[in-house]
């Protein structure tokens, strides 16, 4: 292995968005295309959180902090092991993403973004998930879009899945490879000429 290959950063990606955006489907496909493991952060919720969400009760920040700490630690462990990781996680608010970055500063956020109508139609056809469609409105209200200083990309979900995955792969490759300015915050990157610009 050459020195350049050894130094290449492993993919550390959080596929974020509200319920119904397709985080698990897209995340698993992006992980497969990147040759890294995939993990759904829903599986890391403690039982108390699962029960609250299943009953239609939104989680509080106190409910989320321990869960987000576990999410961040899983990403950090994957980076240290050199395996990389694509992880599906709502990460709706800036402070939640900051909590994850505290453990994994190099993480990239891929935001699956869509209209309420598109999201609602997807939820109506989904079964076997503990997040009821009634919580979609509260999630949309809570959502804080990626800020300019956050290392991430906004992906429109109103397109075929294969096109989403191809676009995501291009964007994530550019974000991982883009040089970071000296003294820049962990979320900031200098995009290469011709690289996909983050959608806001």
Superfamily of domain 3-177: P-loop containing nucleotide triphosphate hydrolases (3.40.50.300)
- pLDDT (0 to 100) of residue 113: 94
- pLDDT (0 to 100) of residue 199: 46
- pLDDT (0 to 100) of residue 132: 58
- pLDDT (0 to 100) of residue 45: 95
* Start-end of H helices in the chain: 3-7, 23-34, 47-54, 61-81, 94-103, 116-124, 136-142, 161-177
- pLDDT (0 to 100) of residue 54: 84
DSSP string covering 16-69, please? Answer: E-STTS-HHHHHHHHHHHHT--EEEGGGGS-HHHHHHHHTTPPPPHHHHHHHHH
- pLDDT (0 to 100) of residue 70: 97
Domain residues of the chain, as ranges? 3-177
Nearest-angstrom CA–CA distance, 42 and 53: 11
With a threshold of 0.85, does the pTM exceed it? Answer: no
- pLDDT (0 to 100) of residue 138: 79
Profile the chain (200 residues) by mean pLDDT over runs of 10 residues.
Answer: 54 94 95 96 94 86 96 98 97 97 97 88 62 71 94 95 96 76 43 40
């Amino acid at each position: 292995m050459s020195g350049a290959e050894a130094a290449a950063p492993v993919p550390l990606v959080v596929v974020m968005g509200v319920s119904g955006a397709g985080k698990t489907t897209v995340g698993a496909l992006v992980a497969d295309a990147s040759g890294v493991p995939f993990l759904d952060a829903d599986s890391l919720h403690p039982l108390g959180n699962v029960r609250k969400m299943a009953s239609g009760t939104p989680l509080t920040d106190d409910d989320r902090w321990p869960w987000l700490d576990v999410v961040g630690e899983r990403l950090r462990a994957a980076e240290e092991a050199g395996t990389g990781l694509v992880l599906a996680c709502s990460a709706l608010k800036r402070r939640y993403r900051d909590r994850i970055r505290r453990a994994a500063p190099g993480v990239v956020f891929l935001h699956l973004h869509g209209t309420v109508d598109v999201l609602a139609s997807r939820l109506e056809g989904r079964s076997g998930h503990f997040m009821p469609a009634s919580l979609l409105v509260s999630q949309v209200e809570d959502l804080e879009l990626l800020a300019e200083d956050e290392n991430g990309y906004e992906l429109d979900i109103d397109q075929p899945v294969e096109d989403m995955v191809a676009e995501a792969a291009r964007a994530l490759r550019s974000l991982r490879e883009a040089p970071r300015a000296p003294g820049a915050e962990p979320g900031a990157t200098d995009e290469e000429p011709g690289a996909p610009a983050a959608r806001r």
